Amino acid sequence: MILELKNVTKKFGGVTAIKDTTFRVNSKEIYGLIGPNGAGKTTMFNIITGNYEATEGDIIFRKEPLNGLKPHAIVRRGIARTFQNIRLFKSMSVMDNVLIGFDFQAKYTYFESILRFPRFFGEEKRIKKRAMEILEYFKIAEFSEQKATDLSYGQQRKVEIARALATNPVMLLLDEPAAGMNPSETEELANLIKSARDDFDLTILLIEHDMKFVNQLCDKVLVLDYGKTIFEGKPADAIRDKEVVAAYLGDFVSHD
């Protein structure tokens, strides 16, 4: 077990976005977070990454609580994320985008960079080499000097995942990675996520609407509806669950 959420509740004023949610993600698992729009999936991500603070409950990552930590500190502990709408640094090259992920791993100080100490050159060389390895893994090394926003949508997705992997995470949170992709791109992405899981020793938590994608990829899913957990288990069982179907399509049975 690598991540555990215990009775997490999040309220925005009078609205309860997440209600008393408990779940566990095991090491090397691909865990899906699904549910209709407004179910609280992205809120859940923002709580784990520290962007929001949970109103109640604990988030425990690798046996240590994350409550109250600043988002950048949580990244440094090994949780990286991507965004629902791609958010690359638009004035920067693909290479520089990935190098931002190495920001806290390059060990030189501000003064060493101003005065160009030898350590600056050594560290820059080291992180550039590692960034190049990641780009090669995602087969986007040839675009490294191009502006990130000049790439195609699918490739921008890859840059975003590569950038997240640059922070050397233990756990990767993907917010709708397959959104806006065609079936063949989705297929390719699913394979990429699977192999990245094995090659980078990752645990993956993802939000996705594409049920085929979820079925193919996830070991386990959690279904949310209006902040409530309505199902946890294998993705194949989720589709057959009465409550899940009701949440997505409406309840046809009992309103008498």
Partner 1 sequence: MSIIIRKDQWINLAIIASTLWFIWFASSHFDEYTVRILNNIAIFTILAVSYNLINGVTGQFSLEPNGFVAIGAYVTALLLLDGDAKSYQFDIEDPYPWVLALHANFIWALFFAGLFSALLALTLSFPVFRVRGDYLAIVTLGFGFIIRILAINNPEITNGSLGLNDIPEFSNLYWTGGIALLAVWGILNIVNSKFGRAMKAVRDDEDAAIAMGVNTFKIKTFAFCTSAFLEGVGGGLLAALLTSISPDLFTFFFTFQLLIIIVLGGLGSTTGAVIGTVLVIGGAEWMRFLDEPMNFGFFETPALPGMRMVVFSVILIFVMLFAREGIMGKRELKDLFKKAKK
Interaction site with partner 1 (CB under 8 A): 49, 51, 70-72, 75-76, 80-81, 83, 87-92, 96, 99-104, 106, 108, 110, 113-116, 118, 120-121, 124, 127, 163-164, 166-167
In angstroms, give the least distance from the CB of 142 to partner 1.
15
Of 116 and 234, nearer to partner 1 (C-beta) is: 116
Question: Shortest CA distance to 165 belongs to which of 190, 125, 138?
Answer: 138
Distance of CA 136 to the CA centre of its chain: 21
Q: Shortest approach of partner 1 to residue 226 CB, angstroms?
A: 26
Q: Please, what is the minimum distance in Å from the beta carbon of residue 216 to partner 1?
A: 26
| Residues 104-139 as b or e (16 or more Cβ within 10 Å = b) | eebebeeeeeeeeeeebeebeeebbebbeebbebbe
Q: Are strands 15-25 and 220-225 parallel, antiparallel or unpaired?
A: unpaired
In this structure, the number of other CB atoms found within 10 A of the CB of residue 158 comes to: 22
CA 145, 153, 89: angle at the middle one, nearest 5? 50
63: left (phi over 0), alpha (psi -120 to 50) or beta: left
- Give 49 or 186: the residue with its C-beta nearer to partner 1: 49
Question: What is the smallest separation between the CB atom of 47 and partner 1, expressed in angstroms?
Answer: 14
3-state helix vs strand vs coil in the chain, percent to 5: 40, 25, 35
Nearer to partner 1, 80 or 238 (CB): 80
Q: Are 138 and 162 in contact (CB under 8 A)?
A: yes
| C-alpha Rg value of the chain to the nearest Å | 20
CB 34 to partner 1: min, Å: 22
Least separation in angstroms between residue 200's CB and partner 1 is 16
Residue written as token pair 């109250």: 68
Q: Which residue, 84 or 229, has its beta carbon nearer to partner 1?
A: 84
Of 124 and 232, nearer to partner 1 (C-beta) is 124
C-beta closer to partner 1: residue 84 or 215: 84
